[in-house]
């Protein structure tokens, strides 16, 4: 399989742009997580203070909810769809025939599927 130099360069430029965007989003995500951690701590403090005030005012003990950070679980078994195939390897004649590509008598590609 061949691709033109322009198509390759366009894909490469887009990849570079997306990597830069990914870095920016990663930084923004870190800032967001720090802010959320701060709000979790403050919310937990407020709930504990509220429970203390109710206990001192009314003599009733109430349970205090706690907000915890839940770490995401990533499926390590999943792989990228292109990880098992090298897209830059050429097709053999048998693989091409299986995918519906063949040659005509004049040497041009013929798609049978």
DSSP single-letter state for residue 102: E
The CA distance from 98 to 60, in Å, is 76
- CB of 31 within 8 A of CB of 13? no
Whose tokens are 């040497």? That residue is: 107
Summarize pLDDT for 32-84 with one digit per residue, the tens. Answer: 999 999 999 999 999 999 999 999 999 999 999 898 888 877 766 656 655 56
Extents of the domains making up the chain: 1-70
What's the pLDDT tens digit per position in 75-107? 666 566 555 666 667 777 788 888 888 888 888
Query: Which DSSP helix (H) or strand (E) runs through 25?
Result: helix 5-58
For the record, the structure tokens of 5 come out as 């130099």
**Tokens 């366009």 label which residue?**
10
């Amino acid at each position: 399989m061949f691709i033109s130099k322009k198509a390759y360069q366009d894909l490469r430029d887009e990849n570079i742009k997306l990597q830069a965007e990914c870095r920016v989003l990663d930084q923004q995500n870190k800032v967001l997580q720090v802010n959320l951690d701060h709000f979790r701590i403050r919310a937990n403090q407020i709930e504990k203070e509220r429970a203390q005030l109710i206990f001192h005012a009314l003599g009733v003990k109430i349970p205090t909810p706690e907000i915890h950070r839940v770490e995401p679980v990533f499926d390590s078994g999943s792989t990228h769809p292109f990880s098992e195939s090298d897209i830059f390897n050429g097709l053999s004649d048998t693989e091409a025939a299986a995918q519906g590509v063949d040659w005509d008598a004049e040497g041009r590609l013929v798609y049978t599927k």
